[in-house]
Structure 1
Amino acid sequence: MEPSNLLILLIIQVSSTFLLPINAATAKSALFREYIGAEGQNVTLSDVPINPDVEFHFILSFAIDYTDSPTSPTDGDFNVYWDMDNLTPSQVNSIKAKHPNVKVAMSLAGDTIGDGHHVFFKPTSINSWVRNAIYSITEIVRKYNLNGIDIDYEHFKSDPDTFAECMGRLLYYLKQNEIVAFTSIAPYEHDSVQPYYLALWQKYGHLIDYVNFQFYAYPKGTTISQFMRYFEKQSSNYRGGKILASFGTDGSGGLSPQNGFFTACGMLRKQGKLHGIFIWSADDSKKDNFRYEKQSQDFLASK
């Protein structure tokens, strides 16, 4: 059902100065999150091992505001681009029924679409983007019975303030109307990316439950001490946020499990700073039989 025009106008015109605080989802240190469905590897939700002693979030990747043409943004009209053959509404309902500790979210945008074309944030206006996004995202959330939303724009054809307003007003509407229970953002360290997320955090950080910081975007060969410095820096950037530790199983950079990732997580846990772990991505982990998904959850569940 399309939201009423009156309600939309109220939401898109509201200034963040007048936003009421919204209680963030309660974070557990035993939170594990996994991106899934972006790379067409025929991975299903039931393929991934699930430890009953952690809070487990699948993040369907991605919903994109583009048409089938990889060069045509739609000004906030999102479509499903994850593996729809293997990640269906019925499978979402089935995995949640089988595992009460599982919740399912979707991620917006991602890096590329089609044959490597970048996904750009390119709104016509704040009002039009928010209006379209509210409607299309609400439809997807209800169809797939989703619990949360993740923002993963990585390329921009707008300014940081416009991005902050669009995303902030979207998150406000989704949480205020209980369409989603939790939200997250997925920034990484780059001058073309961080200013957008920092602008969003500064104005609307109270609406964001988790920061899925892409620590695997740092160089390969990252050491434990470097990782700890990176984590401290991002904790300062997103002050008060629940920063999750992360690594990739796609051969990307950062601190790998082989080089001491879990040692670093143990150090964070002793400092009371470990809010959870996420992995990019289940598609890449399939070839190794989800070895590190098991290890991550075993680590989180052991206290």
Structure 2
Amino acid sequence: MACRDGRTIVDEVLVTETWRIRQMEADAERLASIIADLCEGVAPAALAVGAHGCDTDEQCQHFQTLLSARTGGRVQVVNDAELMVPAAGYVDGIGVVAGTGSIAVARTQEGKMLAAGGWGWILGDEGSAAALVREAARAIRGALDRGLHGDPLIAALMRELATDDQTKLGILLNETRGAAVWGRYANAVFDAAAAGSPLATRVIAEGGAALAALVELLIERGANSALVVAGGGVIAEQPMLMKAFVEAMARVAPASRVVLLREPPVIGAIALAKRLFADQYPSSRIGA
């Protein structure tokens, strides 16, 4: 997204898989090229990027340096979860993403980045689409091993995997491993919960509690607990997960205000870019 004189002039969505190859120099080169194309060759006076995989201050600074060398102007790189708070119209708070993956990010009063989660679907990413499917499969495994076959979650996941053989659930999931692929099956968990599945209801409640636990870790490390902004495809589109998260947050940090982001996170990047522009040109009309 690009703005000039407070007016949006470019707003495009690109499929990540078509350009991101998870090598910082190559990513910076490609992203700079995308920016140049979107802005018709005009270098932005201020640029802000929420980057997946920039999980430390050092990684953000490195990617920022690479981009700055290719785009000119002022550049700020933050973790993608850090876009949640400014996108919701706030300056300080804890950002939580629950989409294909999950992570919680905040800043200390001194500006140091704090992150919890974001370890990928094999090690964690609790509350994310892929992790909900992983935990649903584990719950199903436990039920079947106990001879229990009637929970709606079993049939729902079998439908997603296009099989009528319960014994093939593990094999089929193993063959389609990967967060993006598994995440597509998450609807089965929510459909099953809506149909009264105790297993799916438990999986969703535990996912919400796990997200709240990430926030609790950041609060213990010095994050401001006053505001928590949650976003991402799963938590924004599935009210049951948001409800579970809010209920868990009421136990973890009762005084925290919990907000669901309904705006595109890129709005947060625009807000950060406007602040950069205002800092660089304090007497000028704000633009980005």
Both structures adopt the same fold (TM-score exceeding 0.5): no
Question: TM-score scaled by structure 2?
Answer: 0.33
The higher radius of gyration belongs to 2
Q: Larger RCO: Structure 1 or Structure 2 (Cα < 8 Å, ≥ 6 residues apart)?
A: 2
